[in-house]
């Protein structure tokens, strides 16, 4: 199964009523946002539950288990991204929820580094920035697909710089990574939103539409979480 990349306005040889198409598109995007928001909520709940258990936090971050916790979300992302077409909709949902829970464990460390008040403040800043960029991606008539190559290059640059800075531990590089990261993930939010919108097609069956919504939710979830982390690096108050 290959998901479409172009907006479909024709169905079985007849022109689809634009109002009906738009209604279906809005329902699809709402489904994507609901999955994304539910995933973020689950991540937050798991992170709070984890940090409320000193024994669990000690077991994770004082042992090699921390590497399992840190790498587990990446494993889920790769599994879901490359195996989605072979999964049932139910399996894709289950993997998405497991990924969100694993990300909660992985992000629980932020409560050890930053004050609760600054985490909450940055979360709402992130929500506002994400909403604005996603709305732009959804409503703009401009084709922003050309952003993709620049954003991917920026993302690769950020990853390389983060790896290098593990050894350099340079505050200046850390600051630059955070600033560039905000720009990259804000851009990716608009870019991914437009792509998700363009992928929608009236003729997809419920199984395919459901998996398409999971795929879109995963992309927006990652944009939101990474934007949040970059903003937290810039504006979070150390505990």
pLDDT the model gives residue 15: 55
Structure tokens at 4: 């479409």
- For 176, residues 6+ apart whose C-beta sits below 8 A from its C-beta are 161
pLDDT 10s per residue in the chain (239 long)? 444 444 444 334 445 578 888 888 999 999 999 999 999 999 999 999 999 999 999 988 888 888 999 999 999 999 998 999 899 999 999 999 999 999 999 999 999 999 999 999 999 999 999 999 999 999 999 999 999 999 999 999 999 999 999 899 899 999 999 999 999 999 999 999 999 999 987 667 888 899 999 999 999 999 999 999 999 999 998 87
- Rounded to two decimals, the pTM is 0.89
**Partners of residue 114 on adjacent β-strands:** 238
Q: Distance (Å, rounded) from C-alpha 212 to C-alpha 112?
A: 36
Query: CA dist 147 to 1, 2, 160, 190, 221, Å?
Result: 26, 23, 20, 10, 19
């Amino acid at each position: 199964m290959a998901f479409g990349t172009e907006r479909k306005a024709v169905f079985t040889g007849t022109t689809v009523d634009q109002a009906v198409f738009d209604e279906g598109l809005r329902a699809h995007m709402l489904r994507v946002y609901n999955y994304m928001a539910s995933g973020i909520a689950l991540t937050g709940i798991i992170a709070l539950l984890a940090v409320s258990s000193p024994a669990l936090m000690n077991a994770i971050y004082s042992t090699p288990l921390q590497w399992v916790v840190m790498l587990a979300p990446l494993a889920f992302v790769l599994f879901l991204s490359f195996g989605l077409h072979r999964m049932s909709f139910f399996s894709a949902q289950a993997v998405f929820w497991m990924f969100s829970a694993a990300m909660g464990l992985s992000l629980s460390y932020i409560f050890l580094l930053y004050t609760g008040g600054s985490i909450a403040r940055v979360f709402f800043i992130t929500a506002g920035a994400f909403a604005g960029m996603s709305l732009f991606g959804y409503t703009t008539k401009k084709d922003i697909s050309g952003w993709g190559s620049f954003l991917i290059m920026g993302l690769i640059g950020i990853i390389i710089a983060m790896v290098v800075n593990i050894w350099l531990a340079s505050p200046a590089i850390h600051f630059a990574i955070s600033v560039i990261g905000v720009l990259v993930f804000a851009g990716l939010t608009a870019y991914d939103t437009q792509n998700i919108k363009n992928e929608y097609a009236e003729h997809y069956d419920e199984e395919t539409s459901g998996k398409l919504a999971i795929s879109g939710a995963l992309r927006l979830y990652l944009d939101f979480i990474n934007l949040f982390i970059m903003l937290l690096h810039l504006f979070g108050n150390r505990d």
